[in-house]
């Protein structure tokens, strides 16, 4: 594939982010997508095979970018990895709102491939947080369940942030950290071994 084809595909993916961020999957026919892109629908078929292929390519690109943004150096201290990963997550939301909306508010959540993409990204972020908290790769069940709930909270807060724009970024970060403190406290109440002294990280005021 030559550079011009790469560029054209990238342009179509960027447009797809905008469209799928604000329209349900079923609202957009391949004809409507082609018309909005200003191309023949045959070009969408050429690059993506189908409307579903176009949608999943958009989701995969957004997921890959989010994963790359939140990846941290395993050699860094756990608390630093956690803080860096969360800041990188918020960077992505702030700098790529359409990609985040498309990823988190997708229109065909029942599609197994799309569900798998989103599930992998959630699992990768849980792994990052667990590594930051405990240095381990796999959480104990109580911590895993609590962090899954916290991820849903993150997604809701970040979408609200994008929708309303009336919270400062540092306020959003504080909300997420305080909610994490609550999730950790809940996990620790059920299983004292789930989290080993997270208050030592100094990131969760009032935790204990």
Give the pLDDT confidence of 33-68 residue by residue, as tens digits. 999 888 899 999 999 999 999 999 998 998 888 888
Of 181, 187, 183, 180, give the one whose Cα is nearest residue 208: 181
The percent of residues in the chain predicted with pLDDT above 90, rounded, is 33
H or E segment at 176? helix 169-190
H or E segment at 38? none
**pLDDT given at position 4:** 80
Confirm whether 23 is domain-assigned.
Answer: no
Confirm whether 24 is domain-assigned.
Answer: no
Q: How far is CA 99 from the centre of its chain?
A: 9
Split into its structural domains, the chain has a count of 1
**Token pair for residue 61?**
């690109």
The CATH number of residue 91's host domain is 1.10.357.10
Confirm whether 123 is domain-assigned.
Answer: yes
Quick one: pLDDT band at residue 204, thresholds 50, 70, 90?
Answer: low
**Token pair for residue 21?**
């961020």
Confirm whether 64 is domain-assigned.
Answer: yes
Confirm whether 127 is domain-assigned.
Answer: yes
Confirm whether 29 is domain-assigned.
Answer: no
Q: How far apart are CA 32 and CA 21, in angstroms?
A: 15
**Token pair for residue 28?**
């957009």
Q: How far apart are CA 122 and CA 201, in angstroms?
A: 23
Which residues constitute the domain of residue 191? Answer: 60-198
């Amino acid at each position: 594939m030559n550079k011009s084809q790469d560029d054209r595909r990238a342009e179509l993916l960027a447009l797809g982010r905008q469209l799928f961020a604000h329209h349900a999957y079923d609202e957009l026919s391949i004809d409507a997508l082609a018309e909005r892109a200003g191309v023949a629908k045959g070009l969408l078929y050429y690059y993506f095979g189908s409307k579903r292929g176009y949608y999943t390519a958009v989701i995969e690109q957004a997921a890959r970018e989010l994963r790359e943004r939140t990846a941290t150096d395993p050699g860094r201290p756990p608390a630093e990895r956690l803080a860096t990963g969360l800041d990188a997550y918020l960077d992505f939301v702030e700098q790529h709102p359409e990609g985040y909306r498309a990823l988190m508010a997708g229109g065909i959540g029942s599609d197994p491939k799309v569900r798998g993409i989103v599930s992998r990204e959630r699992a990768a972020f849980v792994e990052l947080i667990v590594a930051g908290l405990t240095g381990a790769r796999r959480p104990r069940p109580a911590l895993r369940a609590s962090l899954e709930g916290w991820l849903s909270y993150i997604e809701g807060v970040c979408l609200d942030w994008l929708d309303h724009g009336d919270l400062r970024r540092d306020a959003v970060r504080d909300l997420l950290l305080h909610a994490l403190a609550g999730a950790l406290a809940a996990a620790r109440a059920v299983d004292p071994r789930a989290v080993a002294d997270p208050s030592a990280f100094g990131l969760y005021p009032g935790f204990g």
